[in-house]
Amino acid sequence: MELGQMQGRLAEYTRSLYMEGILDAQFLQLQQLQDESNPDFVVEVVSLFFEDSEKLLNDIARALDQQSVDFKRVDAHVHQLKGSSASVGAQRVKDACVAFRNCCEEQNVEGCLRCLQQVKQEHYLVKNKLETLFRLEQQIVAAGGSVPMAEMTF
């Protein structure tokens, strides 16, 4: 595939992620923090996000599995996950956390388990999508091209 075609494909793919609400403007903000002095910033931050969030999701699952569920603990984890997903622009994960919080307030274990499933699903989705995005970027760089800064034109 030609460089131009690859870049076009990347732009299209990126646009689709915003259109589907998987990413929001915060991700664009993240990309703008990357520069020559810190060329891998986005990948590093996103990796950190996935490491952190996987741990949080496991902690939440464990907390919900207890005989007597400590909803404050679950809430604290959801709180942290919402903060970090909002910070990287993982919009659907963030929204799933908002819904999760309501279940925590109701102290409803079944509801929380459903919410956890939803968050996990969104998390899995954004992880796959971003891995694809980074792979497309790598292909362009490997072919000697540069990755254009994404534009919010919608």
Partner 1 sequence: MAPTIESVNQGNGGFEGNNKRSDRFVKATWKNKLTALVVDNGELCRVLERENLRAYGVETVAVETGEAAVELIASGSTFNLIFIDMYLPTMSGPEAVRQIRAMGARSKIIGLTAFITEKDEQDFFAAGIDEFFEKPLDPDWFVPIIREVDNQI
Task: State the minimum distance, in angstroms, from the CB of residue 16 to partner 1.
Answer: 18
Q: Which is nearer to partner 1, 29 or 117 (CB)?
A: 29
**What's the longest Cα–Cα distance across the chain?**
59
Task: State the minimum distance, in angstroms, from the CB of residue 147 to partner 1.
Answer: 17
Q: Which is nearer to partner 1, 30 or 119 (CB)?
A: 30
What CA–CA distance (Å, rounded) separates 115 from 121?
10
Q: Which is nearer to partner 1, 134 or 139 (CB)?
A: 134
What CA–CA distance (Å, rounded) separates 113 from 79?
16
Task: State the minimum distance, in angstroms, from the CB of residue 82 to partner 1.
Answer: 4
